[in-house]
Amino acid sequence: MALTMTETVRVPRPVHIHRLRSALSVLVALATSGLIAFSILRIVAYAYRQGNGLEIAVVAALFALLSAYVVLLGARAVALSARAGRAVEIHHARELGAQASLRSWNALAWSCALLIATGLAWLLVLNDAAVSRTFFDLALIRNSSGEILSAFTTNIVIFAVSVVLILVWALVIAIARTLPGDAGRPLRLMATAYCDLFRGLPSVITIYLIGFGLPLTNLPLVSALSSSTYAIIALTLTYGAYTSEIYRAGIEGVHHSLIAAARSLGFSHAMTLRHVVIPIALRNIVPPLMNDCISLQKDTALVSVIGTIDAFNQSKIIAANNFNLSAVTTVAILFVAITIPQARLVDRLTQRAQRRRRAGGA
């Protein structure tokens, strides 16, 4: 490499000063700012007439600041590019050119993001603010949030109970599906049939069948439970099938030589599962289990089909009374808010598992 460099040093090579790119970036930035200025004037004026000018003004100020920043970035790119063109020393020129390019890309990316955000803002206020009124009536969101939060505890209870039941039940199914030998076959087949059935059945149908079906059976015990309990049973059955597949993948992923090592010490099949296979499998399947958890949380909203007063159902009642969906927005925000930290946690755990696997493979 070094040799080729010295050989070619006499050939004059062009220095990229990215004049075009910088010019483009500043033009786009200026156009974006103009559009934003126009939008701010129109939207703030409109909001002022509607009486909630203050909140909008704050957002508008933020937009204005950002667009000014973008124009600055573009201007800086042009300036750097110009200096690169004047620079005497070739390495210095290259450095300035690279900086100009970086600034240009930044300016372009920010312009793009701001344009999208402005488009969304227009969507909210178009047609006499039909979208904001329908989905984001702040007063209604504020007023309904108390009731909805208390109904949300129903979702949380359903989730918390189900998740424990699912983790245990799925493990039972997974072990049944991995039973060895001829003697294991009947249970293995039943467990497989169960998984096939409940993985194919949409959870909303399972909830519906169990929530409305079991009370009709007049069976002792199971016909007079609360609708939350039916929801828990249905969710456990559905998610048990999914989660057992995750467990099974984990169990089958444990290297057979580890199992041979345990068996050769004299551990029985069950003891090997308990002391070696399951602990190792569990460590590997935490990320997919967490993903499962997140979708279970969301699916607690399905219980509204059997009349459980959860947050979603409560919000639908409020929405119907007010001819406005903002209360449902509150629920949506709640679900998203509790999911985001978990999603980040899954990302972290997945990364850690990958690092560990790479370290193990090295």
Considering only residues 281 through 300, tell me which ones interact with another protein, judged by CB under 8 A: 283
Q: How far is the CB of 357 from another protein (least distance, A)?
A: 11
* DSSP string over 119-135: HHHHHHHHHHHHHHHHH
State the Cα–Cα distance between residues 298 and 293, nearest whole angstrom.
9
Kindly tell me which of 127 and 264 has the beta carbon lying closer to another protein.
264
Considering only residues 232 through 271, tell me which ones interact with another protein, judged by CB under 8 A: 257-258, 260-268, 271
Q: How far is the CB of 356 from another protein (least distance, A)?
A: 9
Q: How far is the CB of 276 from another protein (least distance, A)?
A: 6
How many C-beta atoms lie closer than 10 Å to residue 317's C-beta? 15
Q: Which of 280, 305, 309, 345 binds another protein (CB under 8 A)?
A: 280
Instruction: At 329, list the tokens.
Output: 């927005």
Kindly tell me which of 205 and 260 has the beta carbon lying closer to another protein.
260
Kindly tell me which of 32 and 272 has the beta carbon lying closer to another protein.
272
* Enclosing H/E stretch for 158: helix 138-177
Instruction: Identify which of 68, 55, 155, 50 has the alpha carbon closest to the alpha carbon of residue 111.
Output: 68
Kindly tell me which of 217 and 257 has the beta carbon lying closer to another protein.
257
Q: Which of 12, 180, 220, 360 binds another protein (CB under 8 A)?
A: 360
State the Cα–Cα distance between residues 269 and 253, nearest whole angstrom.
16
Kindly tell me which of 142 and 352 has the beta carbon lying closer to another protein.
352
Number of H helices, E strands in the chain: 13, 0
- 12: helix, strand or coil: coil
Kindly tell me which of 5 and 270 has the beta carbon lying closer to another protein.
270
Q: Which stretch binds another protein (CB under 8 A): 36-44, 68-76, 275-283, 315-323?
A: 275-283
Considering only residues 102 through 131, tell me which ones interact with another protein, judged by CB under 8 A: none
Burial 152-166 (b: 16+ CB within 10 A, else e): bebbeebbebbbebb
Q: Which of 42, 185, 275, 348 binds another protein (CB under 8 A)?
A: 275
State the Cα–Cα distance between residues 283 and 275, nearest whole angstrom.
13
Q: How far is the CB of 359 from another protein (least distance, A)?
A: 7
Instruction: At 338, list the tokens.
Output: 């509790």
CB 73 within 8 A of CB 25: yes
Instruction: Give 108-117's long-range contacts (Cβ < 8 A, gap of 24+).
Output: 108/24, 108/25, 108/28, 110/29, 110/66, 110/69, 110/70, 110/73, 111/25, 111/28, 111/29, 111/31, 111/32, 111/70, 114/32, 114/36, 114/63, 114/66, 114/67, 114/70, 115/32, 115/35, 117/63
Q: Is 355 near another protein (CB under 8 A)?
A: no
Considering only residues 41 through 100, tell me which ones interact with another protein, judged by CB under 8 A: none
- Tell me the angle at which helices 19-50 and 53-86 cross, rounded to the nearest 10 degrees: 170
85 Cβ contact list (under 8 Å, min separation 6)? 17, 19, 93
Instruction: Identify which of 226, 213, 210 has the alpha carbon closest to the alpha carbon of residue 158.
Output: 226
Kindly tell me which of 189 and 265 has the beta carbon lying closer to another protein.
265
Q: Which of 108, 246, 276, 327 binds another protein (CB under 8 A)?
A: 276
Q: How far is the CB of 15 from another protein (least distance, A)?
A: 50
Q: Which of 279, 343, 351, 354 binds another protein (CB under 8 A)?
A: 279
Kindly tell me which of 284 and 291 has the beta carbon lying closer to another protein.
284
Kindly tell me which of 37 and 286 has the beta carbon lying closer to another protein.
286
Fill in the amino acid letter for 131.
V
Q: How far is the CB of 312 from another protein (least distance, A)?
A: 41
CB 85 within 8 A of CB 19: yes
Q: How far is the CB of 19 from another protein (least distance, A)?
A: 54
Kindly tell me which of 275 and 344 has the beta carbon lying closer to another protein.
275
Q: How far is the CB of 273 from another protein (least distance, A)?
A: 13
Q: How far is the CB of 355 from another protein (least distance, A)?
A: 12
| Contact positions vs another protein (CB under 8 A) | 257-258, 260-268, 271, 275-276, 279-280, 283, 359-360
